[in-house]
Copies of this chain bind each other. A is one copy, B any other.
């Protein structure tokens, strides 16, 4: 089963310039994370079950943060604010299949004091499987309220992107 791929567009609606923060352009570098497709990932349609792509994207964000020196469990135990997903916009372009070797390409699209927008695209070689925009918010575990992103995360991202928040 093959889908006709629409043109790949970044024009998701939810990243807007209103309100400050730092928007990163198309030239930013991607972090690549490999995913192999196993039986557990597929469904009776013979393809990867759609919700599973969100799992791969979360694995990739976790490994991306790990490469920046950030361990979520350690930070959680220290009482630091946690990063939670607040919105996802995802477009499913082509199905992935059993035994496929995919890559999750992750980059930061918008950085603000209390939120981060990731752009994540899953590819099989040159083919786009799906592409998403994932907005994460920083939340205080005790109050459940939005709170500024942990300074270590901000610093690590600013160092990675070479672009400090204004």
Which residues of A approach B to under 8 Å, CB–CB? 1-4, 12-14, 36, 38-40, 42-47, 49-52, 54-55, 58-59, 62-63, 71-74, 76, 82, 84-92, 95, 97-99, 139, 141, 143-146
Task: Using CB atoms, name the residue of chain B closest to A40.
Answer: B55
**Which of B55, B88, B139 sits near A89, CB closer than 8 Å?**
B88
**Which of B12, B43, B139 sits near A42, CB closer than 8 Å?**
B43
Query: Which of A45, A85, A92 has the largest count of B CB atoms less than 10 A from its CB?
Result: A45
Are B45 and A82 in contact (CB-based, < 8 A)? yes
Query: Assuming A44-B39, A58-B40, A98-B73, is B92 touching A89 (CB within 8 A)?
Result: no
Task: Using CB atoms, name the residue of chain B closest to A39.
Answer: B43
Are A2 and B144 in contact (CB-based, < 8 A)? yes
Q: How many chain copies does the complex carry?
A: 4
Q: Separation in Å of the A53 CB from the closest CB of chain B? A: 8
Q: Separation in Å of the A104 CB from the closest CB of chain B? A: 12
Q: Separation in Å of the A84 CB from the closest CB of chain B? A: 7
Q: Separation in Å of the A32 CB from the closest CB of chain B? A: 16
Residues of B within 8 A of A58 (CB): 38-40, 50-51
